[in-house]
Amino acid sequence: MIRKIEWVILILISMIVGHGCSNDDNVIANSGGPYAGMQANYVNSVYSDNLGEFIVSVYYEAGAEPYTGPIGLTANDTWTITRTSLQSLFMNHVGRVVTVPSGLAAMSALPNQNKTTWTQEQLLNLAKANAPLSTPTEIAVGVYFVNGTLNGDANILGVQFLGYPYAFIFKDVVVAAGGDGATQRYVEQSVVVHEIGHAIGLVNNGLPMVSGHEDAAHPKHSINQDCVMYWAVENRQNILTTLANFIAGNRLNLFGPQSLDDGRSYHP
Ligand SMILES: [Zn+2]
């Protein structure tokens, strides 16, 4: 039985561990508590050489369907961006299969939740009620596409909460970022990869860094502007500038060299 005061403390802790920045990041670096332990356990499982398959499970509310199909500039499939990025990160995890869906038929439709704004608790409740199954040899991360915004913030494109293997994408904010079909696909995919990146421990979020590349002004984000873990990837006002090189180069792996080093080097 948890007493009222303990709930208050838990709520206060949970308010400071979210990753979802607008212009600032509200994450307290190296915050301890149960969430850091949950995060460490998940990250160690993900980078273990015993893991045979890493699965991206996608869920979407009616009205918040992810983009699929050809990116537009090339014949590349939209979700090849997430798949290639993760395959690049796990390149030294020999034999590992990375499973990412391509079309809506391989994703799970959820009823419209009829929300214009979401709290952290509401998002986590949605994810927990529709969580992918993991086993010791197959671990999944859940990606949830929802309508509306995080706490009314029209600039936050996505969020991940420390300790939970879930990534949330705010479709209305993706659409509001603008751009043509190819640009929109790059915006959405880069937010997916960024939030999965947080969930699986990048940058100093449970995964040890080979070289220091954490942005002191934006904890848990890379100082490398040419890496998807750069803070501005989460922000509607900054994302188009940040992604210009990715789009022009038709890049499929969005992680920068420092992040790739971190993922390839960790074998707990
Ligand atoms: Zn972030």
pLDDT above 90 covers what percent of the chain? 82
Where residue 20 falls among pLDDT bands split at 50, 70, 90?
low
pLDDT at residue 19 greater than cutoff 90: no
pLDDT band at 14 (very low <50, low <70, confident <90, very high): very low
> Could you tell me the distance, in angstroms and rounded to a whole number, from the CA of residue 20 to the centre of ligand 1?
6
Strand partners, 109: 60
Ligand 1 centre to CA of 227 (Å) is: 12
CA dihedral 111, 112, 118, 122 (to 10 degrees): -20
Distance 221 CA to ligand 1 centre (A): 6
Q: Which amino acid is at 13?
A: I
pLDDT at 205 exceeding the cut of 60: yes
Distance from residue 233's CA to the centre of ligand 1 (Å): 7
pLDDT digits (tens, 9 = 90+) for 52-75: 999 999 999 999 999 999 998 788
DSSP state of 58: E
> How many Å lie between the centroid of ligand 1 and the Cα of residue 243?
15
Residue, of 34 and 214, whose pLDDT is higher: 214
pLDDT score, position 26: 33
Separation CA 262–CA 41 (nearest Å): 17
Quote the pTM value.
0.89
Average pLDDT, the chain: 89
Sign of the alpha-carbon dihedral angle for 33, 37, 38, 40: positive
Which band of pLDDT confidence, cut at 50, 70 and 90, is reported for residue 25? very low
CATH entry, 35-265, from 3.40.630.40, 3.30.70.3340, 3.40.390.10, 1.20.140.10: 3.40.390.10
Q: Which pLDDT score, from 0 to 100, does residue 121 have?
A: 96
What pLDDT, on a 0 to 100 scale, did the predictor assign at position 27?
37
Do the strands 218-222 and 214-215 form a parallel or antiparallel pair, or are they unpaired? antiparallel
* Distance between Cα 5 and ligand 1 center (Å): 30
Does a cis peptide bond (omega within 30 degrees of 0) precede residue 174?
Answer: no
CA of 261 to the centre of ligand 1 (A): 19
Distance 232 CA to ligand 1 centre (A): 8
Q: Ligand 1 mean position to 247 CA, how many Å?
A: 20
Q: How far is the CA of 62 from the centre of ligand 1 (A)?
A: 25
pLDDT value for 1: 40
Listed by start position, the domains of the chain span: 35-265
Q: Give 18's pLDDT tier (boundaries 50, 70, 90).
A: low
Q: How much distance in Å is there from the Cα of 198 to the middle of ligand 1?
A: 7
Asked whether 153 and 22 are in contact (CB, 8 A), the reply is: yes
CA 214 vs CA 33, 222, 240, 243, 265: distances in Å: 21, 5, 22, 19, 17
**What band does 135 get if pLDDT is binned at 50, 70 and 90?**
confident
Triad 195, 201, 202: Cα angle to 5°: 70
How far apart are the CA of 9 and the centre of ligand 1, in A? Answer: 24
Dist. CA 119–CA 9, nearest whole Å? 17
Q: Stretch 25-36: mean pLDDT, rounded?
A: 54
pLDDT surpasses 80 at 21: no
More reliable by pLDDT, 183 or 133? 183
Residues with CB under 5 A from ligand 1 (ion): 19, 234
CA of 17 to the centre of ligand 1 (A): 12
Give yes or no for residue 198 having a pLDDT over 60. Answer: yes
- What is the predicted pLDDT for the residue at 12? 40
Distance 153 CA to ligand 1 centre (A): 15
> Residue 9 pLDDT > 60, yes or no?
no
Token pair of 52 as six digits: 């045979």
